[in-house]
């Protein structure tokens, strides 16, 4: 199939609403953002000791990561990608990540079913956009792509929330898997999967409760 659909790289945050079309609900990343992330403090401190501005570094890395993520998605959806907003350095690094994904994909059978689709839970009142729901080696699998330097446990809290969104739609999930796609050789490639996400989802539900309690209190 020819890749004739040109896709832009969007950085806008998705707005999630209930079926009434009026009531806005938080996204999954907003909820998991309530978790403490001590490793970020250590990371920023280490950059400072090296004389590197963490905000500048983060912005550049984020752009490369966004592009790498978009490249993988465009490939899975059989689309072309408009990369005019990115520099050659960013494109080269993102292409390194894409090559790593291709190497992983060559060892598996993957049939995409839903990619970059937003869902909303009417019962729990939150939303989320999955990276890829697919048949992976014959099993219904939820895939999430990361371009950082490590896989953190909180990522599985996010995946558990996405899994619930899919299952509320009647879509079965046997496995949740994270692919960490490094932007260069030093960051490498890593994959981790879980089948039982019940405890991760309990963490998410508690965070969701905290979010709505804070909202009711007007706590910003």
Alpha carbon 205 to its chain centroid, in Å, reads 19
Query: What pTM did the predictor assign?
Result: 0.84
Name the pLDDT band for 44 (thresholds 50, 70, 90).
Answer: very low
Mean pLDDT of the chain: 85
What percentage of the chain carries pLDDT values higher than 90?
Answer: 59
Helix H segments across 50-125?
54-76, 88-105
Q: Give 53-89 pLDDT, tens digit per residue.
A: 444 445 567 788 888 889 999 999 988 888 888 888 8
Domain architecture of the chain: domains with CATH: 27-215 (3.90.320)
Residue in 183, 187, 143 with CA at minimum distance from that of residue 62? 183
**Which pLDDT score is estimated for 45?**
46
Q: Give 183-209 pLDDT, tens digit per residue.
A: 777 777 899 999 999 999 999 999 999
């Amino acid at each position: 199939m020819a890749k004739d659909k040109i896709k832009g790289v969007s950085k806008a945050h998705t707005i999630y609403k209930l079926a009434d079309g009026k009531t806005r609900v938080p996204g999954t990343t907003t909820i998991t953002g309530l978790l403490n992330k001590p490793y970020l403090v250590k990371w920023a401190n280490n950059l400072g000791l090296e004389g590197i501005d963490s905000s500048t570094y983060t912005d550049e890395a984020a752009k490369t990561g966004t592009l790498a993520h978009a490249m993988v998605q465009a490939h899975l959806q059989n689309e072309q990608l408009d990369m005019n907003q990115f520099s050659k350095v960013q494109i080269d690094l993102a292409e390194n990540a894409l090559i790593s994904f291709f190497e992983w994909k060559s060892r598996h059978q993957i049939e995409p079913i839903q990619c970059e689709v937003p869902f909303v839970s009417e019962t729990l009142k939150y939303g989320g956009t999955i990276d890829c729901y697919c048949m992976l080696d014959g099993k219904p699998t939820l895939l999430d792509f990361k371009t950082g330097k490590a896989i953190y446990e909180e990522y599985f809290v996010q995946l558990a929330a996405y899994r619930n969104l899919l299952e509320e739609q009647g879509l079965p999930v046997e496995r949740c898997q994270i692919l960490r796609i490094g932007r260069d050789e030093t960051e490498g490639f890593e994959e981790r999967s879980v089948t039982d996400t019940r405890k991760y989802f309990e963490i998410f539900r508690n965070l969701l409760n905290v979010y709505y309690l804070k909202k009711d209190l007007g706590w910003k």
